[in-house]
Amino acid sequence: MPLFRHPASLGLLVGLLLAACSPPTDVDRLAVSLRTIAFATQEQLAQWRSLPMIEGGETLVVRGEALVGCGRPEPHVLRRDDVVGVEIRAVNTNRICLGIVAAWVPVEATVSGLAPGAYRVRVGIAGLSERTEGTATIAAP
């Protein structure tokens, strides 16, 4: 006589075994604010790094440039254990604008709500084909 008469009971057993082997992980949405940077001079703009820069401190800060066209940048952040993913997307890009614009906008995303500690940070920004990865240490306030 087979040990499992019903395929559903076998599936339940496999699911329980997989759950027991996988470490529990928390996925948290964190608070994030985003601002676009307006420079007064061309020299200031020239000093801004276009590739993402990751900084720690009391909060996690990501700076870079996003290709938004006629749209606007929007941040999304998730944390799983000690890995924080920061994604800056271009939204509302299909609206009508005065011309075909390839607008790169300097952005700064500030992530709050992280406990003190070291984090691996993965950053994706609209217009950049590759992700940037780095580390940041969050200090106690």
**What would the DSSP string read from start to end of 19-63?**
HHHSPP--EEE-EEEEEE---SSHHHHHHS-SS-EEE-BSSEEEE
Is 5 among the domain residues?
A: no
- Domain limits at 116? 26-138
Task: Identify whether 12 is part of a domain.
Answer: no
pLDDT band at 95 (very low <50, low <70, confident <90, very high): confident
Domain count for the chain: 1
User: What's 130's DSSP letter?
Assistant: S
What's the half-sphere exposure (Cβ side, CA atoms, 13 Å) at 66? 27
Q: Has residue 21 been placed in a domain?
A: no
Residue 107 lies in a domain: yes
70 versus 76: which is more confidently predicted? 76
Q: What is the model's pTM?
A: 0.75
In a domain, 42, yes or no: yes
Answer whether residue 16 is part of any domain: no
- 3-22 pLDDT tens trace: 444 444 434 333 433 344 44
Residue 109 lies in a domain: yes
Place of tokens 């949405």: 29
- Within a domain: 105: yes
pLDDT of residue 49: 83
Q: Could you tell me which of 77, 76, 85, 79 has the C-alpha nearest to residue 26?
A: 79
